[in-house]
Amino acid sequence: MNQWQKWSAIGLFMGAFLLVVTSVSALPASGGITPSRSVEALIAALKDKDPLVRVNAAVELGKIKNARAVEPLVSALKDQDPRASEAAAWALGEIADARSVELLVAALKDQDDKVRWHAAWALAKINDPQVVERLIAALRSQDRNFRAGAAEALGQIGDARGVESLIAALKDGDPGVRGDAAGALGKIKDARAVEPLIAALKDEAPSVRLGAAYGLCVGEFKDARVTESLLAVLKDQNKGVRFWAIRALGDIKDARAVEPFIAVLQDQDPDVRRQAAYSLGRIKDARAVQPLIAALQDKAPLVRFAAAWALGEIKDARAVQPLIGALKDKDPNVRKMALQALREIDPDYQLKYELPHLKNKPLVK
């Protein structure tokens, strides 16, 4: 998993663990696994060939909360199926056994950043008051994986005691650690991190700039210096930096970002164009209407979808006819969003505009 994939997953799907576990716990327990089965049988099922069996076994072990499952569940963090590794992390958080803290801290040294992230998430859920000091100390370890995992865990826990050590970690010799520290500072949402994160936007390593942009986004800092610094990186060579800067500026809703976002609607990356459309919709500036209408013709369906949503947010009558045209888009989700946007602009639009091509036909299939 590269840095862009990692930070995208964390920023956009922060609730994925609980959502996944909620959904899989309702699945039929393949292989006859039920809560009434013994702990030993469930532990054995963590190695079953069927990933859904492994998922359900982890979930049931989390519900039972038996300490015997701790070591097998820590091993299950390395499961090749992400659903199973996520369920194992959830279960460890539910069991919250003292032994799991030691094992999870050790798992922060794993070479696989997915394992480290899952271990960090479980440690945050356990919320042992002694963990924070141990993680701060781990930031000084010779093991770069341990330092990176500790930074991630401190961000997940969100304890302000870690801020100064994480700021210091922005000068770590390893760019991966610096990037993780930047992201962690954003999650803690402490104002002391603003200037260090702004400085990190100029780091020579793309992964650090990406972590800084992400941190400034999730930190929700409403500081004029943040706006100016994020505007300056909208042309960064790293698409992840551009993405998170655009998202953060959309949250801030500063009108100075409108013209730069309009330019970004021509970005080569569809995810960046999509986020620019969403952020324009959040700012709700009429200057964006015509560019967003043009974006209804973008080759990427997700961009067309975002443009339709944004036009519905701005509620400008100029968008009505283009949105009516988008009701015939080849993508069903775009058609649905165009219909929703039309209703946002004018709930009675069907009474005011002739739609001969839609007479006696459903508007959305």
Q: Are 210 and 8 in contact (CB under 8 A)?
A: no
Q: Is residue 258 part of a domain?
A: no
Q: How many helices (H) and strands (E) does the chain have?
A: 23, 0
Q: Are 313 and 279 in contact (CB under 8 A)?
A: no
Q: Quote the tokens at residue 252.
A: 């801030």
Q: What is the pTM of this model?
A: 0.77
- CATH code: domain of residue 52: 1.25.10.10
pLDDT number for residue 360? 52
Given 252, 276, 300, which residue is the final one in a domain? 252
Nearby residues of 224 by Cβ (< 8 Å), 6 or more positions away: none
pLDDT number for residue 247? 96
Q: Are 239 and 211 in contact (CB under 8 A)?
A: no
Q: Quote the tokens at residue 41.
A: 């049988």
Domain that holds residue 63: 1-128
Q: Quote the tokens at residue 123.
A: 């440690």
- 112 and 5 belong to one structural domain: yes
Place of tokens 């009474």: 351
Per-residue buried b or exposed e for 299-332, using 16+ beta carbons within 10 Å of the residue's own CB: eebbbbbbbbbbbbbbebeebbebbbebbebeee
Q: Is residue 101 part of a domain?
A: yes
- 187 and 90 belong to one structural domain: no
Q: Is residue 260 part of a domain?
A: no
- 232 and 271 belong to one structural domain: no
Q: Is residue 154 part of a domain?
A: yes
- 171 and 229 belong to one structural domain: yes
Q: Is residue 58 part of a domain?
A: yes
DSSP per-residue letters across 293-322:
HHHTT-SSHHHHHHHHHHHHHHT-GGGHHH
DSSP H or E stretch at residue 345? helix 332-345
User: Around Cβ 257, how many Cβ atoms within 10 Å?
Assistant: 26
pLDDT number for residue 183? 96
191-249 pLDDT per residue, tens: 999 999 999 999 999 999 999 999 999 999 988 889 999 999 999 999 999 999 999 99
- 247 and 284 belong to one structural domain: no
- 242 and 272 belong to one structural domain: no
How many domains, the chain? 3
pLDDT number for residue 310? 98
Q: Is residue 171 part of a domain?
A: yes
- 219 and 317 belong to one structural domain: no
- 274 and 203 belong to one structural domain: no
Q: Are 125 and 157 in contact (CB under 8 A)?
A: no
Least Cα distance to 196 among 170, 217, 232 occurs for 170
- 192 and 223 belong to one structural domain: yes
pLDDT number for residue 351? 59
One-letter amino acid identity for 279?
S
CA dihedral (342, 262, 269, 299) positive or negative: positive
Given 189, 220, 252, which residue is the final one in a domain? 252
Tell me the C-alpha distance between 241 and 211, whole Å. Answer: 8
- 11 and 50 belong to one structural domain: yes
- 135 and 124 belong to one structural domain: no
328-353 pLDDT per residue, tens: 999 999 999 999 999 999 887 665 66
DSSP H or E stretch at residue 179? helix 175-188
Nearby residues of 76 by Cβ (< 8 Å), 6 or more positions away: 46, 54, 58, 84, 85, 87, 88
The torsion defined by the Cα of 310, 187, 192 and 280, in degrees rounded to 10, comes to -10
Tell me the C-alpha distance between 186 and 197, whole Å. Answer: 8
- 302 and 233 belong to one structural domain: no
Rg (CA), the chain: 24
Residue 16 vs residues 12, 23, 57: alpha-carbon distances, Å: 9, 10, 19
Q: Is residue 259 part of a domain?
A: no
Give the residues of the chain that fall short of pLDDT 70.
1-37, 349-365
Q: Quote the tokens at residue 239.
A: 């698409």
